[in-house]
Every structure is written in structure tokens, then in C-alpha cells.
Structure 1
Amino acid sequence: MLRNVAVPVINTVSPFEFAVACEVFGMDRSDQGVPNFDFAVCSERPGEPVPTAMGFSVATAHGFDRLAEADLIVVPATKPREGPIPDALVRELRAADERGAWIMSLCSGAFTLAKAGLLDGRRATAHWMNAEELAREFPGVKVELDVLYVEDGNIITSAGTAAGIDACLHLVRKELGTRVASMIARRMVVPPQRDGGQRQYVESPVPEVEADSLQPLLEWAVENLTEDLSVQALARRAVMSERTFARRFRAETGATPHTWVTAQRVLLARRLLEDTDASIEQVASRTGLGTAAILRHHFTRLVGTTPQSYRRTFRFAS
């Protein structure tokens, strides 16, 4: 169970990604039923200022030896081209990997993991502006671009900046369930689970579109998942041709309508499996997936386990 979290900071640490780790794992939300984490920030020399990428410094109360007891180590972004990382941090990261602890990098924090040798032969990602550099500097890393985060074994790497939130919430969801992840996301005023990858953020010509934002339609769809949400039906509701609607939908969400709708239905299924005693057939009906067989197919494909197994694991998560 995920309980002990440590964040190592080194020279040129990015304040935003550092704050993401603090916000997700360091805040006391016990009044909302969210379990508290034993959270610590660590540096090579506790008490001494560590320069950030924004010109100010932070000081910590713990050394890197604190990483030895962590269930999860979150490595924030730094300036990718900075020099070698401290030997003590390399030792602790490698030891954590060997014992199977979770290790997560945020944005360009993937360079720290790569320098420690943790990403050799593994799939990983980083900010799209740094992905080519990561692949070039560390040819043993299988760099993926069109993702918000990558989980390979016990190591999770996230794409640029805000994708670190997605990666953190993914791990919370995996370890503590959808309910806890959704409560943290609601408190942070962010979606509990985003679809699509970061390719939608890569600099490219913006396609011409002929409609306002689809956000009202997306909100309606989430509240009406048992309705006909085919491309044809959604396009009619948006008063667009199917072709224009499909193009606009991908431009806004990074996913096809079918992929997005299926993900929303599976997300609702997770909540129902955690919070209700509804049968698998009832869950399938209430999510718009129709039958238990269809629910099992999409649920297993997206979540990596069957609805029954998921319920056994998370039914009483709090």
C-alpha cells in the first residue's frame, strides 16, 4: 500500500513539478477521507539552500538517506542539460529500484532517472520539447511521445509540466482506487483522468474549426453515458457534420469520440464497482456499455484487470 513518499530535490529543480508532488502527496486531506502520506522532501545536504530553476532556493530537513524507506520516490523536473546528479541520489534510486519501490519522474526529471541508469531498456516519456534530446542522449531508453505518462514496471515517467498531475493521480488511482484519486483531483480542480497524449500540445499549425468549444457537449455526455453517444448522435447534437465533428473532437480532446466515450464509461464503471453492490450486468447497463461481456472487454483493456478482480481490490478502499 502506498503510504511513504519522498521527493529528492537537486540543483535547478523546477518549482512547478516540485509543487505537484507536494500538492498530491503532501497535503492533509484526512477530513475528506483521503489517507495521509508520510511525506518528506530530501536533499544532499539538509538545511543548505538548493537553487531552483526560477532563481530562489529551497532547504530540506532530510538527506537522501530518507529515500530508503519510501514506497514512492517522486523526482521533479530540472534543467535537462545540467551536470551529473549526486552519487548519493544515484545509490538510493538504484536501491529503490532493486527493492521494487515506485519511482516517478515528472517532466524532465526523466533525465535524472536516465543518468542513474534506471531507464535502460525501459519505455519512458518526457516533455515533448525534451523527448528527442532524451532519446539522443540515452539511446537505451525507449522514448514515447504521444502519451501523458508511461508506466514500465515500477517506474512511471510523465510528459511535460501538467502531465505530472496525471501521472500522480494515475498512481493514486492504481494504489488507492478511483474514489481517492477523484477526491484529490476535485480538491485540485483538475480532471481525475485525462485522455489523449501530449502530441496535441506539440507546436504545429492550428487546424481551422467552425464551432465553439465542445466542453458543454462533453459535460452533457459524461452525465448521460447511457444515451446514444455515437459519432452520428453527438454530431447531430453539436449541429455539425460527422466529419467536422470528428476532426473538432480530436483537436480538443486528443482522442476519437469512441475512445473518449469508452474511457468515460469505464471510469464510471470503476466508481460503481468501488462504491456500490451493483452486479456486473447492472454496472454495464448503468455505464452505457450494454452487457457484462462488453464491459469486461473494455475494462480489462483499459484498466488491466477484470471488473470482478478490481472490485475485490478496491470495493472497500477509502
Structure 2
Amino acid sequence: MKKIILAWLMCFYCIKGAAHSTDENAFHVGVLLFEGAQAIDFVGPIEVFGQAGFRLTTVSKTGNEITTAMGLKVTPAQSFANNTTFDAVLIPGGNINGTLINDEQVQNWIKAQSREADYVMSVCNGAFILANTELLNGLYATTIEKAFDSFAQQYPLVKLATDQKLTDNGKLLTTAGLSSGIDGALSLVAKVNGMRAARTVAAKIEYDWTPNGGYIRGKMADRILPKFSDLPESITLASRTFHYGDEQNWYKGYMFDLKNTQSSALFSWLNQQMTNAGWQAASTENPRAWSKQVGEAQWLLHMSVKHQAGSLYTAQLTLNRQI
């Protein structure tokens, strides 16, 4: 009978869950929100912080309702005008733009918070928002993989870490893309309450956490692919249909509208792109394959094109490590 009661209580606890603290003396995290914020960037860490017993407050410039990148509507608890100081600040990424990054009120709020807070952490391309305050100058930072190049160009004084899911500079932390914010939040819990507490939270949310496990996304095979650009006027990129792979292989699918031109024009454009990126024709017999030596590895890229309907064609790029 005791076992049955214990099992019931455990089940009830799982359903009920744990709420974040309302104790004014609890470690207090301020979560910056803005229009177009990526939900997973702040919701994931909020779950971690709440399970750790931290106090949580969402805050935005005006306090008005925001719509996340995926359409979720969220009303911040307060605006900058409340002048609340936090023990830690979370800066998510999302649909950031020049207006947001260069907003002096946002920059000044982050700078003011950083003077009082124990920690400031960015998630995903929220690193751009943090870097624009110049607080990251001379420090290590990471961001979402697809933004590596633009981040390095915009912030040359920041040391970009492309092989880490988390950079910890003491007070200032940055994480890679999307779910990496959960790893960052767990690491922050470890800094505040110890590793045992962080591992307990990871178990509660059923998250397979590997501290210092590296950033596998930055090691994926698509890091070898050139950045395609400058499509001829006769060809329009209709959509990207798939994008996946691992460290040894990568697959990309595209839908092109060739309008009044021939499919050969697509190969001519791609061949020029590959040549400009330092790739060479794999063989004279196969004009749709290119190879490149990168370190000790030899890579082979092959393109296949299929006609779909009218002027629409699908193209698949297959990248494989040969050695």
C-alpha cells in the first residue's frame, strides 16, 4: 500500500511540475523579449531556471505584447521603465534586425544590467545584440552556425568560437543556436547552485545534457559548402526543400524557377560558384561533380536536377567526405 501511495505522489509531482520562485530573495533572472524573438531561445531556459527555483521576470522595452518568430503571443511582465535590476539577464535571438541591434535604449538597458548582474547570457543570434554593446570585445562568443561569417565580419574584436556550444567568460556567456540555450541555462544553474543541482534539473526535464560536449553543429559537413549567391536573372530560387546531414555527409534540396532558360544554365551558374570557391571538376566525364581537398580530407559534391512542372526544377546537392 505504501508503494502505491508513493508511486501516486511521484506521478502527481510529475504532472504538477515545479513553479519558478516568487521569493524576492531568490536568484532573479530577467528575460529580454522583443518582437520576433525565437520562442525556444527563451522558453527552454525559462523552464530550466524555473525548475532550479530561480525567480523569473520577462521584460521588454515597452512592456507591450510581442509576437515570437513562430507566432506565439507573449505579454512581458514589465518594461524597461520599471528599472528592475537582475542577478542574471537572458538575451534570446530571433528575427533581429538593424533597428533592434542599434536601439540605444536596448543597448543601454543591457549595459546597465551588466554592471549589476552576476551573469549576462545570449542565446543563438542574440549574440549580435550583446556584441553590439561592445561588452564582448576581446572575449569569446558563439552564435548560430549559419551566422558565423556575418558575426565575424561585424564584430572583429570578438573571438568567435565555432566549435563550442557555450562560451563562458565569467560574467558574460553566449550559446549557439536554438536548443543550445537549454545547455547554457543548465551551465548557469551549475555556476549559481552547483553541478549537482544542474544535473538534477536536467533529469527533471528529461534532457540529455553533456557539459563541455562541444558544438556538433559547427562540425557538420555543410561547413565545407560554399555560400551560393548571384543567381542570373533568368533563374529564381523558389524554396529550399531540405537541409540535413552529419559530419561526413550533407544533403541540400532546392526548388528553382528557370523561367525561359534551360537547365544547363543552372549547372553553368553552379560550376562558376564552385570554381570561385576553390572546387575543381571531379572528372571530365561528370561535369556535375566537384571535389576539394580540405586538410587531410577529400570532399566530393554532386548535383542532380529533375524537372517538376512548367519551369520548376528541383536540385539536390549531395556532399560526401571521401577520405
Q: Helix, strand or coil: the match of 2:146?
A: coil
Cα distance change, pair 206–54 in 1 and its aligned pair in 2 (3 A): closer
Structure possessing the higher relative contact order (Cα contacts under 8 Å, 6 or more residues apart):
1
The residue that corresponds to 1:107 in the other structure is: 124
> Does the alignment pair 1:58 with 2:74?
yes
Contact 2:26 2:55 in 1 (8 A): no
The CA deviation string for residues 190-227 of structure 1, in whole angstroms up to 9 with x for no partner, is: 12334122323452675679xxxxxxxxxxxxxxxxxx
Could you tell me how far apart the structure 1 residues matched to 2:40 and 2:116 are? 29
The residue that corresponds to 2:60 in the other structure is: 43
The residue that corresponds to 2:179 in the other structure is: 162
The AA in structure 1 aligned to 2:175 is S
Cα distance change, pair 88–2 in 1 and its aligned pair in 2 (3 A): farther
The residue that corresponds to 2:29 in the other structure is: 5
Could you tell me how far apart the structure 1 residues matched to 2:40 and 2:134 are? 25
Correspondence 1:105-184 to 2 at 5 A: 105-184=122-201
Could you tell me how far apart the structure 1 residues matched to 2:248 and 2:156 are? 37
As a proportion of its length, which structure holds more strand? Answer: 2
Q: Helix, strand or coil: the match of 1:169?
A: helix
The residue that corresponds to 1:297 in the other structure is: none
Could you tell me how far apart the structure 2 residues matched to 1:62 and 1:202 are? 43
Correspondence 1:269-288 to 2 at 5 A: none
The one of 79, 96, 120 equivalent to 2:95 is 79
Aligned length: 201
1:50 Cα deviation from its structure 2 partner: 1.4
The residue that corresponds to 1:200 in the other structure is: 219
Q: Helix, strand or coil: the match of 1:104?
A: strand
The structure whose Rg is larger is 2
As a proportion of its length, which structure holds more helix? Answer: 1
Unpaired runs of 5+ residues, structure 1, are: 210-318
Cα distance change, pair 64–96 in 1 and its aligned pair in 2 (3 A): same
Contact 1:42 1:61 in 2 (8 A): yes
1:65 Cα deviation from its structure 2 partner: 4.5
The CA deviation string for residues 120-175 of structure 1, in whole angstroms up to 9 with x for no partner, is: 22210001111111111121211110001101131000011121111111111122
Contact 2:127 2:143 in 1 (8 A): yes
1:187 Cα deviation from its structure 2 partner: 1.4
Q: Helix, strand or coil: the match of 2:40?
A: helix
